[in-house]
Amino acid sequence: MRALRILLEKEFRQIFRNPAILRLMFMMPTIQLLLLPLAADYEVKQVKVCVVDFDRSSYSQRLVHKVTSTDYFQLVDYTDSYDKALRYVESDEADVVLQIPEGFEKHLVKENEVTVFMALNAINGVKANLGGAYLRTIINDFNGEVRVEWLQPHGMNAQPVIGVEAINWYNPLMNYKIYMVPGILVILVTMVGGFLSALNIVKEKEAGTIEQINVTPIHKYQFVLGKLIPFWVLGLVILTIGLIISWLAYGIVPVGSLLTIYIFAAVYLLAVLGMGLGVSTLANNQQQAMLLSFFLMMIFILLGGLYTSIDSMPRWAQVFTWFNPVTYFIEVMRMVVLKGSSLFDIRWHIAIVFLMAIVLNGFAVFNYRKRS
Amino acid sequence: MTSAIQVDRISKRFSSGKEGITALKDITFNVAKGELFGLVGPDGAGKTTLFRILTTLMLADSGTASVEGFDVVKDFKEIRKRVGYMPGKFSLYPDLSVAENLAFFATLFNTSLKENYELVKAIYQQIEPFEKRKAGALSGGMKQKLALSCALIHRPSVLFLDEPTTGVDAVSRKEFWELLRGLQDAGISILVSTPYMDEASLCDRVALMQEGKIMDINSPKGITENFGKPLYAVRNSNMYELMQRLKTHPAVESCYPFGQHHHVVFKNSTLSEEEIRSLIAPLAGAFEVRRIEASIEDSFMKLMHQ
């Protein structure tokens, strides 16, 4: 016990004597939490649309007016040349071209059917997709409006129209910040835990101090615990800072209990630190450790469901996310913060991440040898 | 009575590239209890590898070794309680103070500075005024003293010192060897390595190492006595030309630069000083020659070329 205590004492002394690390630890969550959620906004606004109107009728006018009256679309030009419109797309001045054919009004009235043409600039996939979807919705709306107008005057038997109203449960205003901030907080905790623990042990390897410790009679588990505990505490401190910032800056107060978040985070940090320790047993110097950690982090974060929905990933990537601890924490954070899930609701998440912690730490302890 | 250190046909290879490097080849020697034993050899002779095997940090490919009667493989836990190891590279925490480093290692060995103050007193007193200073900010000599204090803090019975004086100034080196003598008096067996031949003469016995092999084990006196042939130191005003001429002379067995002189051994060891003078005279203008006692370095040079 005395040995473990002095190991911890030494570790904390070293951390507090390294002002750069301390500063980074407090600045990283603050800056990331203040900046990233603002940038990570999926709402596409200001889609630049160019309308090619070969009809120039009152109906086509009405359609164009309907499109441009929302703040999702910005009219670039209203023209009668498709080539001109394409040139706008080429020079990146327009994202979408809407072409209204000749005889639009005539066909609509006489034949009850007409086709409009949409061309999307797919270089920015998200913008093209969403822009196209918005435009389709507006055209459908227009379609409905027109039909209702025609049918109403004929009397009683009004054509039934099915309207859809959606309610966004747990995030009524679809505020992306509420959705992103808990996820970004997870990334922060993961980075601090994963990087710092990996670099710390490798630093001892580089300085040769690990050999001085290896020739002493202390046990492997004492050494590993002496490294785990300080970064476990740091991880929880970062989480606390992050929760305070998301409350102060975004007014996000978890619907669920804070205790649930901390219990899961405590288990989760064990897994992340285990990974960091594992990396440090594989790497011989800080550069290797840094690159290896970076590689793992990139994969875990990009395939963690923060930026892209896991449901839209290919099958193999979905299978991978089952083994990705980041996925579970992001899910748990969103469940507890937005929905108010209880410990019972996340019991499987805890069990799985706990299993990961055992496997990762087991690997680290097994791979850390006091001799070569 | 068992010896402090027993090494029996230890070999170690490192696989690098196609061939790999033989770091140690059939090393066998004994260090008696209370002895100050020196491993002398240039960089790359395998001294550090041997230390790492004996301090249970590395496994040998073949052969056996024991420290204080404990096998380095089976009983490594016992050995770790009983030995002090000071690696060649300074390996204490530079961001911890002198006192903190010492307290840290003392606690890991389940002891304290107070308990073993008597043993480290002579060394620690010299760095005590800088107790609060960070270890990284100490001078080279001070660092060595702190490292030695940390290696001694748990009163080990065997002390392993890997090149403790490399990169340390001449005065500190001399002091350091005096400290080692003091530790020897306290009953500690010491295995010390050094690339400096002049330090070898301060050991009780030395092993001369070269390319993973031990060339000779003897007392420093025994080693120089084994040199065999008379040795001459020669100098003149054009040392470079003199060297060329001596080397190609049929009567000269070996000739190598040594400080301000060339050391020369002749094939015929019965030559008188007069005969040697007349032999060198045609090769050099004004010159100086005198017979000298062989040093350990001379013995090393001789063994190396055999």
Predicted ipTM of the assembly:
0.79
pLDDT of residue B273: 78
Sequence spans of domains, chain B: 5-222, 227-305
Which two structure tokens, joined as six digits, stand for A322? 């089952």
Which CATH superfamily is B5-222 part of? Answer: P-loop containing nucleotide triphosphate hydrolases (3.40.50.300)
What CATH code is assigned to A47-154? 3.40.1710.10
Taking an 8 Å cut-off on Cβ atoms, the answer to whether A215 and B95 are in contact is no
Tens digits of residue pLDDT in A100-116: 888 888 888 777 777 88
| Interface residue A3 vs chain B (CB under 8 A) | yes
pLDDT at A359 over 90: yes
Least confident of A156-160, A368-372, B10-14, B139-143: A156-160
Q: Which of B142, B159, B160, B158 is nearest to B92 (CA)?
A: B142
Q: Buried b vs exposed e over A328-353: b needs ≥16 C-beta within 10 Å?
A: bbbbbbbbbbbeebeeeebeebbebb
pLDDT digits (tens, 9 = 90+) for B35-90: 999 999 888 888 999 999 999 988 899 999 999 999 999 988 899 999 999 998 88
> pLDDT value at position A154?
56
Given this model, what pLDDT does residue B234 score? 87
Which residues, including other chains, have CB under 8 Å from residue A44's CB and lie 6 or more apart?
A72, A126, A127, A130, A131, A134
Report chain B residues touching chain A, CB-CB < 8 A.
55-59, 76-77, 80-81, 83, 85, 87, 89-96, 100, 103-105, 107-110, 150
Looking at residue A42, its pLDDT comes to: 64
Question: Strand, helix or coil at B265?
Answer: strand
Q: How confident is the model at residue A155 (pLDDT cuts 50, 70, 90)?
A: low
The CA distance from A233 to A29, in Å, is 16
CATH of domain B227-305: 3.30.70.100
Other CB atoms closer than 10 Å to residue A286's CB: what's the count? Answer: 16
pLDDT band at residue B18 under the 50/70/90 scheme: low
Q: Count of A–B CB contacts within 8 Å? A: 72
pLDDT tens digits, A242-286: 999 999 988 888 888 999 999 999 999 999 999 999 999 888 889
Nearest to A211 among B87, B100, B150 (CB): B87
Contact B199, B83 (CB under 8 A): no
Q: Give the residue extent of every domain in chain A.
A: 2-40+175-367, 47-154
- A13 and B CB contact within 8 Å: yes
Out of B57, B89, B96, whose CB is closest to A215?
B57
Higher pLDDT, B40 or B140: B40
Residue in chain B nearest A3 by alpha carbon: B108
Element (H, E) at B55: none
Q: How far is CA A143 from CA A64, A65, A66, A138, A293, in A?
A: 13, 14, 11, 9, 54
Q: Rounded to whole angstroms, how far apart are CA atoms A23 and A244?
A: 17
